[in-house]
Structure 1
Amino acid sequence: MDSRYNPKSIEKKWQEYWERERLFEVSEDPAKKKYYLLEMFPYPSGRIHMGHVRNYAIGDVMARFLSMRGYNVLHPMGWDAFGMPAENAAIKAKTHPAKWTYENIDYMRNQLKQLGFSYDWSREFATCDPSYYRWEQLFFIKMYESGLAYKKKSYVNWCDTCQTVLANEQVEDGACWRCDQPVVQKEMEQWFFKITHYVEELLEWLDKLPGWPERVLTMQRHWIGKSFGSTIRFPLASGQGFIDVFTTRADTLFGATFMSLAPEHPMVATLCRGHHEEQAVLDFVEKAKQAKRGERDVGLLEKEGVFTGSYCINPMTQEPMPIYVANFVVMEYGTGAVMAVPAHDQRDFEFARKYGLPIKVVIKENEGADVLHPDQLTHAFEEDGVLVHSGPYSGMSSAQAREAITRDLEARGQGSLTVQYRLRDWGISRQRYWGAPIPIVYCDRCGTVPVKEEDLPVILPLDLEMPENGASPLPLSEAFVQTTCPRCGGPGRRETDTMDTFVESSWYFARFACADYTEGPLDPDRVDYWMPVDQYIGGIEHAVLHLLYSRFFTKVLRDMGYLQVDEPFTNLLTQGMVIKDGAKMSKSKGNVVDPDEMIRTYGADTVRLFCLFAAPPEKELEWSDQGVEGAYRFLGRVWRLVAENLEKLKTVAPYDGHDPLPQTLQSLHRKTHQTIKKVTEDIQQRFHFNTAIAAIMELVNEIYGSLDKAKEDRTAWSVIREAIEAVILMLSPMAPHIAEELWTSLGMPASVAKRPWPTYREEALATETVLVVVQVNGKLRSRLVVPADISEEALKEAALQDAKIQSFLAGKPVRKTVVVPKKLVNIVI
C-alpha cells in the first residue's frame, strides 16, 4: 500500500464499484424503518457550482450515516429541467432548449458521480420528459374540473425581457427573479391555481412543522398575511355605486378625509370618465404600471396621485371624500382601495401634505393626553389610543371602537368584520416555449375544453425554431395550435401558454417514490411507504416559492386521493450560501471556484470534507484555499496512519472490551468511545458536521500519540486498531472513497457504506475519578467524586452547587474559595 495519499487512484475505482453493485438502490421494506432524504433537485444549467456541492454533501452525509444506522434510506436525484434559463441560453447559443438541457444533464450527472454522492440513480428523471409532465397535465385537468384551475383577465406581473408573466412570488424587489429586470403591470388573460382555497390550512399547518426553521415559517406566515379587520362600504356621491375598503383601523374612520385607489382598480376608468381630470388620470395609470412592482409594495416611490374628479361619502361623518388614484396602493392588498386617514397613517400623511388635503386627528395617545391640532403634527400617530372627535365613540379605546363601529356599520348594511389574506392565487401561465403545455383546447362551439385524459400527454413539439426576441414559437406553429375539440370533434385551438416551471417541482418528490410507475402518476403502495420526505435540504430563497407551492400541491393531491399525507416535508434544513472574498459566489462577481478543478487537484473527498468542516450547515461558508489544503492534509494524515502501520494492524483484531486494559491504554480506548458518542450526536441531533470532524481529528491525534508506546504489544495494537476502524467508519459518510480504500486495506469486506455505524460502550466512557473533600470555614462538610482531570474552575463550581454545602452557605456571601487540585476545596464565608 502506497504511503502517499493519491485520490485519483482510488476515487474512480470506488465510484465504479458502487455503480456496478447498485449499492444505493433501495426498495420498500416494511421490516425496516424508512427514511426519505432529499436535496432540492438542480436546474441543469450546465455546471455544478460550490453551492450545489455543499448542499448535496450535507445530504449525502445524512443518507450514508442513516443507512449505517439501519434505516432504509431513499436518496434520489433528478432534474428540474423546464424553464426560461434553458430557453434563453439556447437562443443565445443558437441551439434548441432540449439539446442544451440534455447535454447539461449528462455533464452534471457525471459531476455528481465524481463527487461520490450515494444517489439511487434508478429513480432519475427530468421534468421535461413527457412521461413526467403527462401526469402534471392530468392534475391540471382534475383541478380545472374541480374549480382549482381557472382562467381570468387581470393585471399581472410582466417581464418584458423574459417575455412572460410572473407570479407574485417570483417578483423580488420589483424585478424578475430570473433576469433581475423591472417588472410592470399588464392586463392579460391568465391561468391560475386557486391556492387561496387552502389558505387557512396552509397557515394552520405552519404551527405543526417543528422541524422547519422558524425563519421560513415566519416568511410564509407573512406571505399568507392573515389580518383581522373590517370591510367598510363607501357610497359614491353620484349615487351610482360604492367602493369597498378593507381596513384594520375602523377606529380611525372619523378621520378619513379622502380615498386612494390602486391604478389597476377596475373603477378608475368609470370614476374619471367625463371629468376634465380624465386624461391626467389615464396618463397617471399608465405611468404607474411601468413602476417597479417592489417599490410600490414597500412604499419606496415618492407618493404621487391624481384626483379622479369623483367623490365618495364617509359613512360615519357623511362628508364627501375626494377619490384619488395613488401610486403606493396595490391591487393585491385588501380591495385595492384605501380609506385615507392622514393623521394616523404615515403614507396618507405624506400624501395629504403634498396635495393639501384635510387632516383630522381622531386618536390621542391616552386618556390624559392632549389632543394635537393637525398643524402640530410632524408625522402620523399610528398607534392605538383613545378616540376623539368621533361622535358617540369618543372616549372609547381603539380596540373597543373597532368592534363598536363595525357592528353599527353592519347593522346599516355598510360594513362587516372581515378576515383578509395577502396571499393571491398562483398565476401559472407562461408565454414561453420551454414548459409543459397546458392541456386545454378552445372551441368556437364548446368554449374552453380540457383534453381527454386518454389523449395525454400533450407533447411539446421539439422541431420548432426559436425566435431571437425570446417569444414563444408555439402560437406560430399551425401543427401544434390546430386540433380537434375533445367534446364535439370540430376544429379547435390549443392553449399556447405553458405552465410555470414551479408546477413541475411542486410534486417531483412524490414521483421519486415510484419513478418507473406507468399506470398513473403515483403508485399508492410505494408512495404511502416513502412519503412524507423526512429531511429536505435546500436554499432559503425558495421559502415562499417552491416550498409554499409544494405544500399547496401536496394538499391538492391528497384531496384527489393520490397521497395520504398533509405536508410534503417533515424536516427542513436551509443551508447557508458559499461566499468568497465577502460575497456570494457568482460569475458576475468573478469569485467562482470550479468544483471540477478542485476535484482534479485535491480529490472529491477533500472538497466534500472542506464544505462540511468550514461552517455549520445553516451558516454561510467562507471559501478558503488554506481550508481546502488543511482538509487534504488531514486525509493524507489518516491515510498514512493506516498505510505506515498496516502490517501490525493486520495481525490483530480490534479490542472488544472484554479483557481489562492497563492504565496506559485506557485513555485511547476511552477517547475512541467518547468520539463515537460525540460524532453520533453531532450528526444525528444537530447536523454539526464541523464539530464531528473536529472530534475525529482529535482522535487521530491521540492515535498518533499512542504509536510510539505500542511497540510490539499486541494488546496496544488491538486498541489502536479499534480506534482506527472507528475513525474510518465515522469518516466514511464525509469522505467515502478514502474510507472504502482504507477499510478494505485492513482486510475487511467491502463496502464500508454497508457496515453498521459504530456504537459506544457506556463503561468505556467513564474517566478516572478522585475523591475531593469540601470544607466551609475549614470544617469538613461534604465529599465529591469528580473526574481526575477536572479543571479548578469546574471543581469550585461543583463544590458551591453541592446540596450539603448550599445548606451551610444559607445565602451568605462567599469571601473566597481555596482549591487544592484533586484533594480539597475550602469555602470561606
Structure 2
Amino acid sequence: MNYSSKELEKQWQNYWEKNRSFEPSEDFTKPKKYILSMFPFPSGRLHMGHVRNYTLSDTFARYYRQQGFNVLHPIGFDSFGMPAENAAIKNGSHPKKWTYDNIDYMRGEFKSLGFSFSKERDMATSDELYTKFEQGFIIDMYEKGLLYRKKGFLNWCPSCHTVLANEQVIDGSCWRCDNDVVKKDMNQYYFKITQYGDELLSDLSKLEGGWPKQVLTMQENWIGKSNGLEFKLRFDDKSKEKLNDKFDGFSVFTTRPDTIYGVSYAALAPEHEIVSYMIENSLLDKETIEKIKEMKNASSIDRQKEKSGVSLNLQVLHPLTKKSVPIWVANFVLMDYGSGAVMAVPAHDERDFDFAKKYDLPIKWVIKPFGGELGADKPFTDVGELFNSEMFDGMNSKDAQSKIIEYFEAQKIGKKTTNFRLKDWGVSRQRYWGAPIPFVHCHDCGIVMEKKENLPVALPEDIQITGEGNPLENHPTWKYCKCPECGKDAIRETDTMDTFVESSWYFLRFCASPKNWEKEAFSKEQIKYWMHQQGHSGVDHYIGGIEHAILHLLYARFFTKVFRDLGYLDFDEPFDKLLTQGMVLKDGAKMSKSKGNTVDPDAIIEKYGADTARLFILFAAPPTQELEWNDNTVEGAYKFIKRFFERSANVYKTDSIPAILHSKLTKEEKFARKKVYEALVRAEDVYKEKYTFNTMIAGAMEAMNALNLQSNSDVWSEGYWILTSIMEPVIPHVCWEISSQKFSFKNLAPQMVIEEVFEEESIMLGVSINGKRRCEIEVAIDASQDNILEIAKQNAHKWLEGKTIIKEIVVPKKLVNLVIKD
C-alpha cells in the first residue's frame, strides 16, 4: 500500500461531495451539535490562520458525527467591506466580481483541505437575499427605537474614507489600515447598544466556564461600568454674561467623590457644545481657536500622550466651597466618555497632575497617607485620610465616597450615577460595498423606512470606484426614488452599513432549512433544535481568533438580545462554548505578506497533502497557544501519515472489531493493546474539555510504535480499528481509505474502552542501597514482600557483596531500600 496523497485525497473529496456526506439531517429527534468557525473575508487565498481555525472546527464536527450526533457545520463569507472596495480601486475591477471570484476560489480550497462543511447552507453576506432579510431586521429595530440618527463628532479614517465605530479604533488607529483616526462632524446612524449595557455585563457570568476568561475580562473592561457622583458645575455671573446667558454650567461625573475638595480646575473636550458655541460666536481669539482645532484633529491615542490645553477664561463655582474654579479645554478629555467634561484634581490624579504642572495650575491636597507624609513631586492616589475637606476631615477616603454622595443628594446638588464606557454603535459607512441602509429622505416626511415588500434595496452595479467619496452619492439614478409615505420625490440613504452588522447574526442564518432558504432568514423550528440543548443555548462550539473579543463577539451578543426582544429568539447568548485559537507564526512573527513570512496552504497540499497540513496544525501546539511554523515538523507529520497508511497492510479485512483473549497475549502484545486504549481514553478526554489535540495525536503515535513491537494480527487489526477512528477527524482522507479497504467503514463509530488492558501483571520497582538508587526490578503485581526482597538482592548483588544488610524496606509499588554496613 503506497501512499499517494494527491490521488487518495481527491478521490475521497469527490466521494463526500457526491454522497452529501456532511449535510445535516432534518430528523430533529436525533441529538445534535452545532459547530461553527468565524467565517472568513473572501480575500482570495486561505492563510495558515484560516487553516488552523477550520481544521479545529472540522475535527469537532467529524468527531461528533462519529458519536452519532446530527451535526450542523456550515461556512459562509463575510463578503461586504472595505478590502473588496480597496482591491477594486487597486486592480481596476468591480468589488462584486472580485469578491465572488475569490469566494469560488476559496470554496475550492476548502474542498482540497477536506473540510466537512454543509454545502447546501453555504452563503455570503453580500448576497441580495441576505441583504433583504437584514434590511427587514433593521426596519424592525428602527421601529423599536433601537436605531436612530444624529449628528456628532465621529471617528473618521482619512485613508479608508469612512466613519468607524469606537470599537474599530485600536490605539487611535483604524482597525483595517492602521492609519491614524481623526474626528469629523457628521450625521451617523447608531444602534442603541447602551440600552443593553447592564445585561451585556451581567450575562457574562452565564458564559463562565464556556468562554476564555481573557475574553470575558476584555468585554467587561470595554463595557466599563462605573459608579460615582454626577453634579453640575455652575458658571459665575461674569462667565454667564460672557456666554450671553446661553449656559448656566455643565455636568461632570467622577468615581472619586472623596477628592471633591481638591478640585482646582475643570476641563472640557474640544468638541464640547460650550466650546463650539464660543468658536461660532467669536468669543475666543484666533490663536485659541487654532489650538482647539488641532486638538480635534488629533487621534484619540495622541490626545492621551502629550497633554495640551487652552484656557477659556471662564469660571465655575465649586459646589461646596463656592470658590472660583477656572475652565480649560484639554486634549485628554473625550466626548466619547461621560459628558465631555471633567473635574480635575491634580493632587490625586496623574493625568490632572501633569496638566496642572505644565500650565502652573493650583494643586490642592485633600488626602494623605495614614500616619505618613505627602510628597509634592507626584499625586497621591492610594486610600488615605481626608483633610482640608471640612466636615469630612479624618475619614477613610474609601468610606468618604459614599458619605459625600449622600451629602450631595441630601443637598439636592448631585446624585449617585452609573456610567458606562460603552457607547452606542455607529453603523453608517460612507463606502459603496456594503448593505444599503433601507431609509429614504423625504422633504415633507423626513426619514422614512422603505416598505418591506420593496426589499432588498440592492446596490447598483454600474458604478465607478475611484476611492474619492461614496459612489452612491454620485450615481445618476439609484438614489432618486419616491417616498414610501407620500409618494413624492425623495432621496435614498447613501450610507451603507458597517460590515459587523452582517457578522452579528449570520450564525442564525444557518438555522434555515435549504427547502425554505429563500423564504425565511431562519425558522423557529430550526432555531429550537440547533440552538438549544439540555439547559444550554447557542452554538455548541464556536471557534475563532481572540482579536474579535470586543468587535464581533460583543455585537453578536447584542444582536441576540435584540432579536430576543423582537420575538425572533427565546434565549440570551449566541455561543455556548468559545475556543479562541492562537496565531500562526513564522520566525517568531505573525505571518503577513509585508514581513515576507507567509506559508501558502496550496503549496503544502501540493507537496504533502491536506492530511499533513491538518495533522501539523493540530500537533504543533495546543489550539489556544501560538503556533510556530516548522518545516521539519511538517515533514515529520507527512512521514507519520505515510507510515500509518502503509503499515495498514498488516491489518486483515474484517467487518467487526477482533475479539481478543487478553490473558493469552505476550508481554509485547499486552503493552500494544494498553497503548492503543490509552490513546482512546486520551481522545475522549480531549473532546470533553481539554481540546489539546496535540496530546491526542501523540498518544496515537505512541500506540503505533507499540503495535510495531509485536506481530499478532488480531492486535494489529484491533489497534488499527481504534486508531483509525481516533485519527479520522484529524486526517480524514487516509482514515476513510483504510476503513474502506479493511473495515467497510465500521470503525467510524465510537469504541468502548476495555478496562482489562490496563490491568498490570507486573510492576517495576527501584532498588536503593543506603538511599542511593542502584537498579530496577520487575516483579509480579501480587508478589509477596519476601519474593520482592529476593529478586532485589539478586539484581543488586554486586553492591551487596561482602556487606551486611541491617534493614530491609519495601514501599509497595514504589521501591526497595536496603540498608547495609561494611
Q: Which TM-score applies when normalising by structure 2?
A: 0.90
**Which of the numbers 666, 671, 682 marks the counterpart of 1:667?**
671
Give the deviation of 1:820 after TM superposition: 7.3
SS of corresponding position for 2:395: coil
Cα deviation 1:416-469 (Å, max 9, x = unaligned): 001110000000000000000000001111111100111111111112121x23
Cα deviation 1:379-414 (Å, max 9, x = unaligned): 111122111001111111112322222222223332
Cα deviation 1:756-784 (Å, max 9, x = unaligned): 1222112332222569999xx99xxxxxx
Is 2:443 aligned against 1:444?
Answer: yes
Q: Which residue number in structure 2 is paired with residue 267 of structure 1? A: 274
Cα deviation 1:62-85 (Å, max 9, x = unaligned): 110111112111100111100000
Quick check: 2:441–2:447 contact (8 Å CA) kept in 1? yes
**Which of the numbers 683, 686, 690 marks the counterpart of 1:682?**
686
Give me the whole-angstrom Cα distance separating, in 2, the residues matched to 1:256 and 1:290: 28
Change (3 A) 1:625 1:276: same
Give me the whole-angstrom Cα distance separating, in 1, the residues matched to 2:761 and 2:274: 83
Change (3 A) 1:817 1:569: farther
**Which of the numbers 323, 334, 337 marks the counterpart of 1:333?**
337
Change (3 A) 1:607 1:681: same
**Which of the numbers 242, 254, 263 marks the counterpart of 1:247?**
254
Quick check: 1:44–1:81 contact (8 Å CA) kept in 2? yes
Give me the whole-angstrom Cα distance separating, in 1, the residues matched to 2:566 and 2:200: 17
SS of corresponding position for 1:570: strand
Q: Which amino acid aligns with 1:656?
A: A
Change (3 A) 1:457 1:817: farther
How do residues 530-541 of structure 1 correspond to structure 2 at under 5 angstroms? 530-531=530-531, 532-541=538-547
Q: Which amino acid aligns with 2:360?
A: G
Give me the whole-angstrom Cα distance separating, in 2, the residues matched to 1:174 and 1:77: 33
Q: Which residue number in structure 2 is paired with residue 739 of structure 1? A: 735
Give me the whole-angstrom Cα distance separating, in 1, the residues matched to 2:229 and 2:386: 17
Quick check: 1:235–1:242 contact (8 Å CA) kept in 2? yes
Give me the whole-angstrom Cα distance separating, in 1, the residues matched to 2:657 and 2:629: 38
Q: Which residue number in structure 1 is paired with residue 613 of structure 2? A: 607
Quick check: 1:272–1:310 contact (8 Å CA) kept in 2? no
Q: Which residue number in structure 1 is paired with residue 89 of structure 2? A: 91
Give me the whole-angstrom Cα distance separating, in 2, the residues matched to 1:67 and 1:216: 29
Is 2:405 aligned against 1:399?
Answer: no
Cα deviation 1:459-503 (Å, max 9, x = unaligned): 11112121x234221011132111011111111110000000000
Give the deviation of 1:30 after TM superposition: 3.0
Percent identity over paired residues: 50
SS of corresponding position for 1:476: coil
**Which of the numbers 17, 20, 24 marks the counterpart of 2:18?**
20
Report which stretch shifted further, 273-282 or 500-509.
273-282
Cα deviation 1:521-556 (Å, max 9, x = unaligned): 221101221122011000000000000000000111
Give the deviation of 1:678 after TM superposition: 1.3
Give me the whole-angstrom Cα distance separating, in 2, the residues matched to 1:9 and 1:469: 46
Q: Which residue number in structure 2 is paired with residue 385 of structure 1? A: 384
Cα deviation 1:72-130 (Å, max 9, x = unaligned): 11100111100000000011110100000000000000001000001111100111011
Is 2:502 aligned against 1:518?
Answer: no
Is 2:294 aligned against 1:287?
Answer: yes
Give me the whole-angstrom Cα distance separating, in 1, the residues matched to 2:330 and 2:180: 20
Q: Which amino acid aligns with 1:326?
A: A
Give me the whole-angstrom Cα distance separating, in 2, the residues matched to 1:789 and 1:329: 77
Q: Which residue number in structure 1 is paired with residue 802 of structure 2? A: none
RMSD (Å) for aligned C-alpha atoms? 2.5
Q: Which residue number in structure 2 is paired with residue 369 of structure 1? A: 372
Quick check: 1:580–1:622 contact (8 Å CA) kept in 2? yes
Give the deviation of 1:659 after TM superposition: 6.8
Give the deviation of 1:662 after TM superposition: 2.7
Give me the whole-angstrom Cα distance separating, in 1, the residues matched to 2:817 and 2:39: 62
**Which of the numbers 48, 51, 70 marks the counterpart of 2:49?**
51
Give me the whole-angstrom Cα distance separating, in 1, the residues matched to 2:491 and 2:219: 39
Is 2:758 aligned against 1:765?
Answer: yes
Change (3 A) 1:773 1:611: closer
Quick check: 2:408–2:415 contact (8 Å CA) kept in 1? yes
Quick check: 1:124–1:515 contact (8 Å CA) kept in 2? no
Q: Which residue number in structure 2 is paired with residue 218 of structure 1? A: 217
Give me the whole-angstrom Cα distance separating, in 2, the residues matched to 1:49 and 1:470: 31
**Which of the numbers 183, 186, 190 marks the counterpart of 1:192?**
190
Change (3 A) 1:357 1:515: farther
Give me the whole-angstrom Cα distance separating, in 1, the residues matched to 2:753 and 2:581: 30
Q: Which amino acid aligns with 1:701?
A: N
**Which of the numbers 239, 245, 257 marks the counterpart of 2:264?**
257
Cα deviation 1:489-520 (Å, max 9, x = unaligned): 11111000000000000000000111643333
Quick check: 2:655–2:744 contact (8 Å CA) kept in 1? no
Report which stretch shifted further, 423-432 or 311-320.
311-320
Q: Which TM-score applies when normalising by structure 1?
A: 0.90
Change (3 A) 1:820 1:530: closer
Q: Which amino acid aligns with 2:295?
A: A
Q: Which residue number in structure 1 is paired with residue 134 of structure 2? A: 136
Give me the whole-angstrom Cα distance separating, in 2, the residues matched to 1:253 and 1:435: 48
Q: Which residue number in structure 1 is paired with residue 794 of structure 2? A: none
Is 2:318 aligned against 1:318?
Answer: no
Report which stretch shifted further, 188-197 or 523-532.
523-532
Cα deviation 1:706-727 (Å, max 9, x = unaligned): 13xxxxxxxx211211001111
SS of corresponding position for 1:522: coil
Q: Which residue number in structure 2 is paired with residue 126 of structure 1? A: 124
Q: Which residue number in structure 2 is paired with residue 179 of structure 1? A: 177
Give me the whole-angstrom Cα distance separating, in 2, the residues matched to 1:515 and 1:577: 34
Quick check: 2:223–2:420 contact (8 Å CA) kept in 1? yes
Cα deviation 1:613-632 (Å, max 9, x = unaligned): 00000000000000100000
Change (3 A) 1:174 1:311: same
Give me the whole-angstrom Cα distance separating, in 2, the residues matched to 1:118 and 1:823: 48
Give me the whole-angstrom Cα distance separating, in 2, the residues matched to 1:726 and 1:400: 65
